[in-house]
Chains A and B, each alone.
Chain A
């Protein structure tokens, strides 16, 4: 029998028993739907996180205290002195700018409204380093830093929350940790993700931070440093130079490991990438188990179908069907069933992704689910494979029926 005839018969047979066919493939529908849904949400989440990290700027290196891969006892605090050491044009020609950051949680009050949020004590070039744009006013300057001025740049969402507006705020006063701060600017929206929302932050001079918000036991300690490389191509050189200078600044001998950690955006991208990938694969793997269950469902019904159609098989053999013809017929049927289920499942997965995306958007986390052509092709091929794998045994049973016995079957 020609393949297209087998295909026609399979479709006729599936269509001839719609309810049962649908119930048979329900397992595949749910399995493929779950896999596609998880993959689309995973890819959407990945894109969202990538976008966030990329929005920081592509040529920024983060320096944290301590070493995450090697054991270091008593790592030195990072201080503003380290930042000064890094600002060495002669020995670090690839480093453009260094910003120090000391952050903490505090209350911010405007009139009767107040909010608990992250206060970022930063140096004057911070805005330049992370490419922070202002929608009004200007970022504080070196003189503000030197004078420990009580000035603040508000994140747009924070401004909105406190004052109900994002404009005409320069010159007004907010209270941070109950100290009055004069607003000098409002940042432009940067967007947020599930890990941080810079639009809710308030930026003040690092010196004011030390004085008014976060008293430090170690003088001039900072939480982290940001190194801006000349451009995205000189990241590696800038990291190397920075590391050499920091080791010298911390007086580390050549046998001592680094007592600080440097990561650049690419590292963070790849870490975030691998985290979302692992999560996606893990969830998709769990979802794939239901595909297995779906396949067993198909095998079950195909076995019933073979028994039900024993006489038909006997007749077909009497009329000249070879073993191969019978096997092809049943295999085509189970494969078609499974592929139909897979196609419905892709639709279901798309729907699932859209729903999760809508829920996420409603709760303030932008997540656009993405269904790649690859995952659609993969799901289709996988359900085809499931159909063939689980249809094999029933088809073989049908093909091996003895014509005499099969014709006699009641």
Chain B
């Protein structure tokens, strides 16, 4: 942390975050007090075995779920106690999601999939142009009218990345982005993410269990039993 100047505020600031689930009478303590800061322009991997709480943490960072206790500041906005609809606006404006299974809508073509977040935005002007620009930035300017089933897995994931970027979010949250891809496509998607991080200074949070993916990140956060394990920073 001493590497980062004090003047720069973290884009993600998680303080003593806990999350309990109830399965019947049994309390599952998925997160047991997470402290974590991620700064603008960083590319961070969150790793951990299954059951370690990394999915829960990702849902918290992605504002898909509310913590049981603790504070979460996203882009200086306290989001840990927002209502559902306020969280929806935060997700729309501040977070770009990339899922393992792409999650593109099969009925509509690439450009409409990319434009989907814009439909839920306040600013619905120039939707087409903004979606086109996002698709071009992931190198799919020539595939705009293709439906998801007319695209390869790698291309679909790039459409999903374009969709995540279209609203110019504060962070890109990628959950096992290469998990469904063959190694060549996976490599291309990782290269795209690295390029976005380096050239456009996009803050990227990767959730993965694949060490080779994590290697591309500047640092890795290891989760174990709902807690961050030992030294946060790796060279």
Contacts and interface: CB of A to CB of B under 8 A. Distances in A.
Partners in one complex: yes
Contacts of B89: 320, 322
A319 B105 contact: no
B65 A319 contact: no
A46 to B, nearest CB: 48
Contacts of B117: 319-320
A404 B88 contact: no
B-side interface size class: 20 to 34
A325 B120 contact: yes
A321 interface: yes
A137 interface: no
B92 A320 contact: yes
B84 A323 contact: yes
A2 interface: yes
B103 interface: yes
A94 interface: no
Contacts of A13: 107
A377 interface: no
B107 A321 contact: no
Contacts of A318: 62, 64, 91, 97, 103
Contact of B108 (A1, A5, A12, A319): A12
Given A317-B88, A403-B64, A407-B99, A322 B107 contact: no
A354 interface: no
Interface in B63-95: 64-65, 84-85, 88-89, 91-93
B198 interface: no
A93 to B, nearest CB: 79
A319 B116 contact: yes
Contacts of A315: 99, 103, 105
Contact of B120 (A312, A320, A404, A407): A320
Interface in A315-336: 315-325
A311 interface: yes
A12 B107 contact: yes
Contact of A319 (B59, B84, B120, B124): B120
A319 B97 contact: yes
Interface in B177-220: none
Interface string B101-145: 001010110000000110111001000000000000000000000
Contacts of B116: 316, 319
B206 to A, nearest CB: 17
B163 interface: yes
A176 B107 CA distance: 80
Residue of A12, A318, A319, A403 most packed against chain B (CB within 10 A): A319
A16 interface: yes
A325 B121 CA distance: 11
Contacts of A320: 88-89, 91-93, 117, 120-121, 167
A13 B103 CA distance: 17
Interface string B30-65: 000000000000000000000000000001001011
Nearest to B166: A319
A321 B105 contact: no
Nearest to A403: B64
A16 to B, nearest CB: 5
A321 B124 contact: no
Contacts of A312: 105
A382 to B, nearest CB: 30
Contacts of B121: 320
A129 B231 CA distance: 113
Given A1-B119, A5-B119, A12-B107, A319 B92 contact: yes
B120 A321 contact: yes
Contacts of A404: 59, 64-65
B184 to A, nearest CB: 26
9 contacts: A5-B119, A311-B103, A317-B64, A318-B64, A320-B89, A321-B92, A321-B120, A323-B88, A407-B64
Interface pairs A-B: 7 shortest CB-CB: A320-B92, A320-B120, A322-B88, A319-B117, A322-B85, A315-B103, A403-B64
